[in-house]
Each structure stands twice: as structure tokens, then as C-alpha cells.
């Protein structure tokens, strides 16, 4: 899926995705610059 979160303050964030049958592969972080957009891809595995 694709999700958008608006008006996030600048900074570095740890992103967590969850599923009953899958788990994230590694840690996902994203850095948001002031006034900019950012994206992160999270791979889920069995």
C-alpha cells in the first residue's frame, strides 16, 4: 500500500510496518527536511 502523512516536522524517524503474517526486513528510517517531502520503502518478508 501507499500512505501519506502530512505536516511532519523536520527530523529523522523510524518507520514501522506490521502484518499478522509478514515482518519487516531490517529497520526503516526516513529523514524529513524542513518543507520537503520524503519517502521510504519497507520490504515485508515471511
**What stretches of 1-46 adopt beta strand conformation (E)?**
11-15, 23-24, 28-32, 44-45
Task: Give the pLDDT confidence score for residue 37 in this predicted structure.
Answer: 93
Cell numbers given for 10: 523536520
Q: Residues 22, 44: contact at Cβ < 8 Å?
A: yes
pLDDT in tens, the chain (46 residues): 788 999 999 999 999 888 889 887 778 999 999 999 999 998 888 8
Closest CA to 11 of 37, 35, 34, 40: 34
Amino acid at each position: 500500500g501507499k500512505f501519506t502523512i502530512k505536516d511532519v516536522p523536520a527530523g529523522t524517524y523510524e518507520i514501522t510496518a506490521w502484518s499478522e503474517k509478514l515482518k519487516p526486513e531490517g529497520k526503516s528510517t526516513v529523514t524529513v527536511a524542513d518543507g520537503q517531502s520524503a519517502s521510504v520503502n519497507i520490504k515485508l518478508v515471511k
